[in-house]
């Protein structure tokens, strides 16, 4: 196993352990079947997407591994990613507190529906990766980058964000928490801020992006915005 693959797998395991520590630690119990099912679903999907990139697009995998606040070159994006990183902890924390204190009453079927949303979100992200080898985890323009206007990019300009929102909506539901959905609402303006600033960067630095903006009207949701 080469260094990139080992780093990718280690990162997945560390992330899963950290997520589990937050969820079960705050919930105060391991008797939380919704969390076990969600973590299993999340790990299998993350591993599947990573293995696909290992085999098909190692350059994209390497770009995706360079994410987070410190990897961003734009000061605004460093701030945004810091907020998002802290928010993600809250996305797990609120459902765990909900489970501990019994704030929500959610059926098992609804919780499983949340896992289905998580699957749908991952499938959307995987589809973006198949279409766009330049879909890095940071906002930047790299050498030889071109505008992608096919596949999901022919429908909306930011299909990665659209898929991520489906995934992030599914997480609190999968964890059995209606209150956790408030965290998804909270992050929406932050994601829009990131998206709009990214468009400014791409329009300035990526040849053909302004023309693409004129051709594809919708940013995130067809017929809405």
* DSSP secondary structure string for all residues of 195-212: HHHHHHHHHHHSTTHHHH
Domain range for 185 is: 3-215
- Domain-embedded: residue 224: no
- Domain-embedded: residue 113: yes
Over residues 192-211, mean pLDDT: 94
Secondary structure letter of residue 139 according to DSSP: S
Report field, pTM of the whole predicted structure over 0.75: yes
Residue 1 has pLDDT above 70, yes or no: no
- Domain-embedded: residue 144: yes
For residue 154, report the phi and psi dihedrals to the nearest 5 degrees: -80, -10
- Domain-embedded: residue 221: no
* pLDDT tens for each residue of 147-158: 999 999 999 999
Distance of CA 174 to the CA centre of its chain: 15
- Domain-embedded: residue 141: yes
The pLDDT value given to residue 139:
86
* pLDDT tens for each residue of 62-91: 989 888 898 888 899 999 999 999 999 999
Work out how many domains the chain is built from and give that number: 1
User: Three-state SS string across 57-90, please?
Assistant: CHHHHHHHHCCCHHHCCCHHHHHHHHHHHHHHHH
**From CA 62, how far away is CA 94, in angstroms rounded?**
32
- Domain-embedded: residue 225: no
Residue 225 has pLDDT above 90, yes or no: no
Over residues 22-39, mean pLDDT: 97
- Domain-embedded: residue 203: yes
């Amino acid at each position: 196993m080469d260094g990139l693959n080992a780093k990718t797998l280690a990162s997945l395991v560390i992330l899963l352990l950290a997520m589990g520590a937050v969820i079960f630690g705050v919930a105060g119990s391991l008797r939380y079947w919704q969390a076990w099912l969600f973590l299993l679903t999340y790990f299998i999907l993350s591993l599947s997407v990573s293995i696909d990139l290992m085999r098909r697009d190692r350059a994209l995998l390497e770009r995706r591994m360079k994410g987070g606040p410190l990897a961003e070159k734009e000061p605004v994006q460093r701030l945004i990613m810091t907020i998002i990183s802290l928010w993600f902890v809250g996305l797990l924390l609120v459902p765990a507190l909900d489970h501990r204190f019994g704030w929500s009453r959610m059926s098992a079927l609804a919780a499983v529906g949340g896992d289905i949303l998580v699957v749908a979100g991952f499938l959307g992200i995987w589809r973006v990766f198949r279409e766009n080898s330049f879909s890095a985890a940071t906002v930047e323009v790299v050498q030889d980058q071109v505008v992608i206007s096919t596949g999901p990019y022919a429908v909306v300009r930011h299909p990665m964000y659209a898929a991520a929102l489906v995934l992030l909506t599914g997480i609190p539901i999968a964890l059995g928490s209606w209150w956790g959905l408030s965290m998804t609402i909270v992050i929406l303006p932050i994601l829009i801020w990131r998206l709009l600033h990214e468009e400014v960067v791409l329009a300035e630095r990526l040849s053909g992006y302004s023309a693409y903006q004129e051709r594809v009207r919708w940013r995130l949701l067809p017929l809405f915005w």
